[in-house]
Structure 1
Amino acid sequence: MSTQSEHYWINHLALEPHSEGGFFKQVYRSDESSTTWDNRTRPYYTSIYFLLNQASPSHFHRLKSDEIWYYHTGEALTVHMIHPDGKYEAVKLGLAIDQGEVLQYAVPKDTIFGSSVESAEPDAFSLVSCMVSPGFEYHDFELFTQAELIKDYPTHETIIRKLAFETLPE
């Protein structure tokens, strides 16, 4: 657990609210690019700092690129995934390697995923970095409502109600 508060990290890293939840700042964007499967020119990679807390989780979304998550500090962070075949999986990012936590994890493209901080501490947060390759572009970012996901994945209703928006933010 970090000895610094979430406000320390938000202020010192100049993080801003993210539309999927939490706070972020893009810190790297490759100067080089390539043409992707959909004939778009995209940077090789992009990377952000991403801070989540219990009040502001990462809501269920999907990307068209792989995303690698790197744990930095704070409480463990659970990455919740619904794979394209409908299988649910949860992976914990954190320092307790002996308890199954990992320091980094790659979420495969086309996987619906969100992340949550689960702790008895009311001020719990997690600071991570996320690297997307090919680089992140908002036109490849898809948020979901609870109704959309429950219709397609009714067996995962509990986690969907926790991590999907009732209505999408403006």
Structure 2
Amino acid sequence: MIKAKANAQDVITALNLEPHVEGGYFRRTYQSDHRDSLETAGGPRYLMTSIYYLLTEQSPVGQFHFNRSDILHYFHLGDAIEYNLIHADGSLQTLVMGSDVLAGQHLQLHVPGGIWKASRLLDGSNGFGLISEAVSPGFDFADMEMGDREKLTAQFPQHRALIEKLTRGDG
């Protein structure tokens, strides 16, 4: 039997993904509810959570956002995804997650809490890129801030063009 190549909608349906506020699609797949919660400055959090995260040609950008927790990203399949990280000192780090490790792409990526992060799907033959994220302390929307274009460009004027490309114009 010849199986047709999966497209983005097939993956969204198979993994039961929903639209994410930063762009793309996601579904929480794990939370450590069998462990005691961890006390943080923002309140109690799961020790760890995990999600699937998918970017597609129709939703190719994960907008700049800030997380307080550490995040480990794991590449699964599809087209490569570029990550842009703006550190507190204003330095920019750009990395690509994908399966071509011989070309320097990463299968895993650690993003410490306290860094502005955006992602975008790179052109490829699949039309989607799928990763997982493990977050510790566990993800809570209260610990995430979406990037405000005006505030970010004022804070990091040297990255204005990138910020304008990877944030929404409406705030």
Question: TM-score if structure 2 supplies the norm length?
Answer: 0.91
Q: 1:130 to 1:153 in 2, by over 3 A?
A: same
Counterpart selection for 1:93 from 88, 91, 97: 97
Aligned residue for 2:22?
20
Which letter does structure 2 place at the counterpart of 1:105? L
Counterpart CA distance in 2 for 1:147 and 1:28 is 35
Counterpart CA distance in 1 for 2:27 and 2:40 is 27
The runs of at least 4 aligned residues of structure 1 exceeding 6 Å deviation read none
Counterpart selection for 1:118 from 107, 116, 122: 122
How many residues are aligned here? 166
Conservation of the 8 A alpha-carbon contact between 2:38 and 2:137: no
Aligned residue for 1:10?
12
Instruction: Give me the CA root mean square deviation.
Output: 1.6
Which stretch shows the higher mean deviation, 30-39 or 89-98?
30-39
Offset of residue 99 of structure 1:
0.8
Counterpart CA distance in 1 for 2:134 and 2:50 is 4
Counterpart selection for 2:78 from 74, 78, 100: 74
Counterpart CA distance in 1 for 2:62 and 2:159 is 17
Counterpart CA distance in 2 for 1:39 and 1:143 is 17
Counterpart CA distance in 2 for 1:43 and 1:14 is 22
Unaligned runs of 5+ in 1: none
| 1:48 corresponds to 2:51 | yes
Q: 1:154 to 1:34 in 2, by over 3 A?
A: same
What SS class does the counterpart of residue 101 from structure 1 fall into? coil
Counterpart selection for 1:135 from 138, 144, 162: 138
| 1:34 corresponds to 2:37 | yes
CA deviation profile, 1:56-79 (whole Å, cap 9, x unmatched): 210000011001110000101111
Aligned residue for 1:103?
107
What SS class does the counterpart of residue 12 from structure 1 fall into? helix
